[in-house]
Amino acid sequence: MIIRPQQHWLALIFVWHGSVLSKVISRLLLNFLLSIAVILMLPWYSTLGIKLTVAPFSILGVAIAIFLGFRNNACYSRFVEARQLWGQLMIAARSLFREVKNTLPDDPRLGEFVCLQIAFAHSLRMTLRRLPQEKKLSVLLPAEHLQQVLSAHSPANRILLLMGEWLATRRRSGTLSDILFHSLNNRLNDMSAVQAGCERIANTPIPFAYTLILHRTVYIFCILLPFALVVDLHYMTPFISVLISYTFISLDALAEELEDPFGLENNDLPLDAICNAMEIDLRQMNDETDVPEKRLPDKNYQLT
């Protein structure tokens, strides 16, 4: 995610990092070169008796803009829901450990439960981003639990089971009453619901046929646009064509980024920073001194 300080409106025009311009610049260059080629071919093009006008492109442009707006709204809704889910996870994690520590203040193994909660957050993050988990989880989990987690179909779900077993052990020993166990188990259910919600977003993309027809229409529109502009605009054709194409192609590229909010692109959620904040809070709640530093945006204002 790009996190920038407030900037002057003029400076924002020239911002590079955080925009989708870096992804679409090559496509805009091709559109610019095509426009120049259309200008050079204008004498031959005129002899064919085929004349494209701006009128059909105006109608088609409005239709494309409406559908692009709908797709971007759908993708942004996925982004917002994903952020809400991770916010709910942070609430559930803090509440769960607060209740555990208040209920079992003298338990010498509270640190194990903290590590399980931190491991769950990181495991869910790496699952959503399809990253290897062994290196990170080996620091947080003992060897016998690590192999169980890594061999599971859903490592995060296995960690939830380990947290439930940790609580059940205290219940069987009599240090945790049935009522309190039920309350804590509800917190685990909240975390499980967050996991299921994230997996639903990650595994259910926008219908491919809808994305494909919109993608094709945008690029056909941008390819044919210079032929309609060149008769009236002549040498201004490349600049106007690129400006219009930038609008449509950029919206299409932005929708692709927002469709998967758990990735590592500029406009995706900063899951590393969220997990980092969760780890800091949980370790401080457990009165630990070895607390990681807060993650901050890098020199390009990107927070992963």
pLDDT in tens, 198-237: 999 999 888 888 888 888 999 999 998 998 888 888 889 8
Q: In the chain, pLDDT over 70 holds for what percent of residues?
A: 97
Query: Which residues lie below 8 Å from residue 241, measured CB to CB, with a gap of 6+?
Result: 31, 32, 34, 35, 222, 225, 226, 229
What is the phi-psi region of residue 42: left when phi exceeds 0, alpha when psi lies from -120 to 50, beta otherwise? Answer: alpha
pLDDT of 184: 92
For residues 58 and 189, the answer to whether their CB atoms sit within 8 Å is no
Contacts 24+ apart (CB under 8 A), 26-32: 27/245, 27/249, 28/242, 28/245, 28/246, 28/249, 31/222, 31/223, 31/225, 31/226, 31/241, 31/242, 31/245, 32/238, 32/241, 32/242
CA gyration radius, the chain: 26
pLDDT of 106: 85
pLDDT of 168: 94
Q: What is the mean pLDDT of residues 262-280?
A: 91
Which amino acid would we find at residue 138? Answer: S
Q: Per-residue pLDDT tens for 161-207? A: 999 999 999 999 888 888 999 999 999 999 999 999 999 999 988 88
> What does the angle CA 168 – CA 172 – CA 176 come to, to the nearest 5 degrees?
75
In this model, does residue 296 exceed pLDDT 90?
no
Query: Which residues lie below 8 Å from residue 277, measured CB to CB, with a gap of 6+?
Result: 90, 294, 295
Residue 45, both tokens: 């093009």
Give residue limits of the domains in the chain: 29-285
Instruction: Tell which wins on pLDDT, 61 or 116.
Output: 116
Name the DSSP letter for residue 109. Answer: T
In this model, does residue 155 exceed pLDDT 80?
yes
Q: What is the mean pLDDT of residues 129-136?
A: 92
The pTM is what?
0.88
